[in-house]
Chain A
Amino acid sequence: MNDYLKTKGRIFDIQRYSIHDGDGIRTIVFLKGCVLKCRWCCNPESQQYEIETMLVQGEPKVIGRDVTVEEVMETVEKDRTYYRKTGGGLTLSGGESLCQPEFAAALLKAACEVGINTALESMGCAPYEVIEGLLPYLDQYLLDIKHMNPKKHKEYTGRSNELMLENAMKIAQSGGTELSIRIPVVPGFNDTVQEIRDIAEYTKKLGNVRRIHLLPYHRLGQDKYEGLGREYLMKDVEPPSNEKMELLLQAAEQASQMECQIGG
């Protein structure tokens, strides 16, 4: 009967006291494997499904482990008091959680069954049926929209954006979860007023969106590229300035006519 608790999946981290990814104090489970390969990704060790070795401060560290839902829930349960006081709960992140649909659904269900709030941080890059299967167990969907131009999207993330934009619309229309849109603001990729405005306008069309988050690019993942023996393509990109972020925030607010904020 509780078979879903035995469902296995692959994660690369569990981070407690997360306060920028969904409401309240949350525990984030990072699922391994992604469909995209964003150049600015701060968790490059998330991209590949295969278990790999990364050098952390010169020491090799195995990234990725296979766990059951039950095992994950043991850690998630530990901060229940904090969730209750702050409206927090479990957040699935990645990678792209939708790459492990069964595991993701089972995790969300397990939390939902015991009264823990759930959130999913995802690009929505999967057949809509997969997403639909999660919605009954999902309280908040933090959906990334990175760019409206398919060509540029493909150039920087490795994939075009049609499916994701389509899914965004379906999720919004389903009314099955609370939807927020997150835009990573990456200099040289989408940091012009026009690009942000385009996304905001699309968000307005979606309707039924709680809030837009502008997440300023940071290069804190840079060391990890080195640890994985990969080249960091954005070495010379400076994080956007405060002034720039404020300007883009205004643009987003004007175009979307909804609540917008900087940060998670």
Chain B
Amino acid sequence: MGLYTYNSTDIPKSERIPKLVENLYARMPEIESARAVLLTESYEQTEDEPVIIRRAKAFRHILENIPIVIRDLELIVGSTTIAPRGCQTYPEFSYQWLEEEFDTVETRSADPFYISDKTKEELRRVNGYWKGKTTSELATTYMESETLLAIEHGIFTPGNYFYNGVGHVTVKYGEVLKIGFSGIKEKARCQKAKLNLTDGDYQQKSRFLEAVMISCDAAVTYAKRYAKLALEEAQKCPDMTRKKELLQIAQNCANVPEKGASSFYEACQSFWFVQQLLQIESSGHSISPGRFDQYMYPYYKEDIDSGKITREFAQELMDCIWVKLNDLNKCRDAVSAEGFAGYSLFQNLIAGGQNEDGIDVTNDLSFMSIQATMHVFLPQPSLSVRVWNQTPHEFLIKAAELTRTGIGFPAYYNDEVIIPSLVSRGLTLQDARDYNIIGCVEPQKSGKTEGWHDAAFFNMCRPLELVFSNGMDKGIQIGPKTGRVEEMKTFEEFYGAYKAQMDYAIKLLVNADNAIDVAHAERCPLPFLSSMVDDCIANGKTVQEGGAVYNFTGPQGFGVANMADSLYAVKKLVYDEQKVTMKEMKEALAANYGKGLSEEDVAFLTAKIAGSMKAAGQTVGEQEISAILKTVVAASEAPEVKTKGERILKLIEEVPKFGNDILEVDAFARDVAYTYTRPLQNYRNPRGGIFQAGLYPVSANVPLGAQTGATPDGRLAYTPVADGVSPSAGKDVNGPTAAANSVSRLDHYIASNGTLFNQKFHPSALSGRKGLENFVGLIRSYFEQKGSHMQFNVVSRETLQDAQKNPEQYKHLVVRVAGYSALFTTLSKSLQDDIIQRTEQGF
């Protein structure tokens, strides 16, 4: 039995919501310059002050002057840009990439942004100030040369925090709702009063607390500007209904977030200001609302019980917040934009689950959170649900109904794995039970953690390439010399070499992350954010300096399935069965199994040959180079190379793969995942916390796969690496239960920064109540076997049409009809058309 009773019935959508959505998406998002200009103005005036005070004053200067707007029909206000879905820039973290992309950012394919000439000019002017002053520049100087080399060669990429703010946090929204920023300011004031000015750390602590107070005031000032604007607009408004709404908005903004919220409506507005202002203070993404259904509930309950609001109006307010979460935006560099495509800010909001005492606390707002996503149907928030043995069945059915729409939400999380996993990392049981999810899949205890989740993407395939090249990449020694691969006598020796390459690369990854970590603490400590994370005020320092109760760094590895399949194939084919020699394998990989090399690889091979010719005293002119180039291309596509490649690919095809419920292979995969997760947990970060691994790629498995050569699992060069802990695309041929069984055999506890398991379904699998029941049963079964996370793509007509055109990307898509099943891509065109027809019929 849970703590609350709940109402699970559907609530209709207000007419306001589609109009808000339409307004929001009326045009391409735009980059604005106000924040960068104001930030720079403030910095120019505070050069002789401590950095923490400079940050606070800049925050205040921005909030006092940044243009504000109330959009048509809004009930919840606060916009970071005048243009809908626009974004500000954050030159204190990095700015060069944007200047370089000024002329292409509007026309690029992934997440384009409009930028006016005037904005370009203003940004160019203020960016000049930031040369040599950014976190990314400082981080670079903190990195060792071999670390920079590893990054340059794509072993891992710490790009996220290297060029941006960190974000990835859930603050104490509940405390702001309760005591307001006046209350938080008072806490800082009291703490400051307790300091003794002769204390050794008095200077740092007192300045930090002062910065907190300035930031709290700044937030209140900003809200009051909105109160004033709403009042002015109300006075001008001819429509009486809207006038009334504007007057209410004015009153809300006058009260919150300065004071504690006195109604559900005020709580919604207060929540929103926190969410928005965190995003103005720093550019990080994945600032996650977390357990919205919990901290908002007392306000909802009181208003419903007293008859102050209706359930319908409460839903409308939540829907408005859901729309607003899509008003926040972020412009990333062109490469990152591809990795995070979809303008996503990963503001993860989670519903359901247990409280810190271990009692289920699913409530009305948990259901209404799912309802809001059904109503708004936009990419934000990233909606998640917590699942455990006592999760109400109806709640999961409602979640499954949302999954069935094909929106890709919610993601499902397993309390039974995540809680003990967090406890093993030092959280108290109570804190662990109250976890929420940050960004994609990363668990943390809200308001107490600086988790540095998503700290880097680590490509587990690249170290294997280095085993085959004895540590060389593009002619440079970037990994340890683990010996000539042809001479490795046993599989253990070969596997040992992989582990050695992994260990080395992981060390460099730690070096990179810690360099960036220190740079953020030195140049961009965040007083406003820190005012809402325990125990920063008590400790007198920011989260960037280690002020939080729990500190982690969580870089994520990806390619587990490829490495499991690759190492297993080498073990079987080269060592156990001796069907392929290591030399043949090495040559096949270098030649991409005869399937052609990229221009870059061809250019490199050409340069290499030209270099050795020069070294041998031969003249190498343009003519010779072009001849070498032709030879290289011809050689890589020669018939005998193709034939050899085909033969080896065929042998690899027959080796069992991860994802098919084969104990031996799955046990092997579990061990391979340890090559990343185990060494990492031995390292510490500058905030006094430890490293913890995640196993998920966001969508970086595609762009980073493009930089990865062929692998012994039969994966061709430049193609995507497997997604999260999911089996390699098309390799799991025994259906979803078999794949889930395999994935559950990985150790999800040690990957305490999160694992990601993605499954694709044809809508027929979820049709009717029975379909939903079976779907929920599938999730519960995977979770009973101790998987950590599951998310689903329910394919649409469009997806199936795409699968007709690009069958190689959909090889694993199973279509099931009573008494019949087939892989979609193996059907003839006309039968595929039948299936597409049935997709719409839903049976």
Contacts and interface: CB of A to CB of B under 8 A. Distances in A.
A218 B834 contact: yes
Interface in B805-843: 815-822, 826-828, 830-831, 834-835, 837-838, 841, 843
Interface in B509-564: none
Interface stretch (B266-274, B479-487, B729-737): B729-737
Contacts of B827: 220, 223
Nearest to A46: B819
B26 to A, nearest CB: 36
A81 interface: yes
B820 A220 contact: yes
A42 B827 CA distance: 13
A222 interface: yes
A263 B821 contact: no
A82 B843 contact: no
Interface stretch (A1-9, A20-28, A102-110, A126-134): A20-28
A56 interface: yes
Contact of A43 (B770, B777, B784, B820): B820
Given A16-B737, A24-B774, A25-B778, A264 B784 contact: no
What is the size category of the interface that chain A forms with chain B? 35 or more
A222 B831 contact: yes
B107 to A, nearest CB: 41
B821 A216 contact: no
Contacts of B817: 20, 42, 218, 220
A18 interface: yes
A85 B820 contact: no
Contact of B820 (A42, A82, A182, A262): A42
Given A82-B777, A85-B780, A216-B843, A15 B821 contact: yes
Given A25-B737, A25-B774, A81-B781, A215 B818 contact: yes
B14 interface: no
B334 interface: no
Contact of A21 (B819, B826, B834): B819
A210 interface: no
Nearest to A235: B830
What is the size category of the interface that chain B forms with chain A? 35 or more
Interface string A45-83: 000000000001100000000000000000000110110
Interface string B766-783: 011011011001101100
Given A242-B841, A263-B843, A17 B735 contact: yes
Contacts of A207: none
B741 interface: yes
Contacts of B771: 19
A61 B834 CA distance: 25
B699 interface: no
B661 interface: yes
B819 A86 contact: no
A189 B547 CA distance: 76
B818 A263 contact: yes
Contacts of A43: 819-820
B738 interface: yes
B818 A264 contact: yes
Contact of A218 (B765, B768, B770, B820): B820
Contacts of B778: 17, 25, 82, 85-86
A42 B734 CA distance: 20
A199 to B, nearest CB: 17
A118 interface: no
A210 to B, nearest CB: 13
Max chain B C-beta neighbours (<10 A), residue from A19, A84, A221 = A19
User: A-side binding surface: helix, strand, loop or mixed?
Assistant: mixed
A117 interface: no
Interface in B409-428: none
A181 to B, nearest CB: 14
Given A223-B827, A262-B843, A218 B738 contact: no
A79 B737 contact: yes
A20 B818 contact: yes
A56 B826 contact: yes
A230 to B, nearest CB: 16
B793 interface: no
Contact of A78 (B737, B780, B815, B828): B737
A22 to B, nearest CB: 10
Contacts of A78: 661, 737-738, 741
A191 B828 CA distance: 26
Interface in B755-811: 764-765, 767-768, 770-771, 773-774, 777-778, 780-781, 784-785
A42 B819 contact: yes
Given A81-B785, A82-B737, A25 B816 contact: no
A86 B369 CA distance: 26
Contacts of A17: 735-738, 778, 816
Given A56-B826, A57-B826, A262-B843, A16 B834 contact: no
Nearest to B740: A82
B394 to A, nearest CB: 16
Interface string B105-128: 000000000000000000000000
Nearest to B818: A264
Interface string B367-411: 000000000000000000000000000000000000000000000
A203 interface: no
Given A25-B737, A216-B843, A242-B841, A82 B822 contact: no
Given A21-B818, A78-B661, A85 B777 contact: yes
B737 A219 contact: no
Given A43-B819, A81-B784, A242-B841, A86 B774 contact: yes
Interface in A88-146: 88, 93, 121
Contacts of A57: 826
Given A81-B784, A223-B831, 16 more contacts: A15-B735, A16-B734, A17-B737, A20-B816, A24-B777, A25-B737, A42-B817, A78-B661, A78-B738, A79-B781, A81-B785, A82-B781, A85-B777, A219-B831, A222-B830, A263-B767
Interface of B: 661, 734-738, 741, 764-765, 767-768, 770-771, 773-774, 777-778, 780-781, 784-785, 815-822, 826-828, 830-831, 834-835, 837-838, 841, 843
24 contacts: A16-B734, A16-B735, A16-B737, A18-B821, A19-B771, A20-B764, A25-B777, A56-B826, A78-B741, A81-B784, A81-B785, A82-B777, A82-B781, A85-B778, A213-B818, A215-B818, A215-B819, A218-B834, A219-B831, A220-B820, A220-B834, A223-B831, A263-B818, A264-B819
**Top-4 shortest CB links A-B:** A264-B818, A86-B777, A85-B777, A20-B818
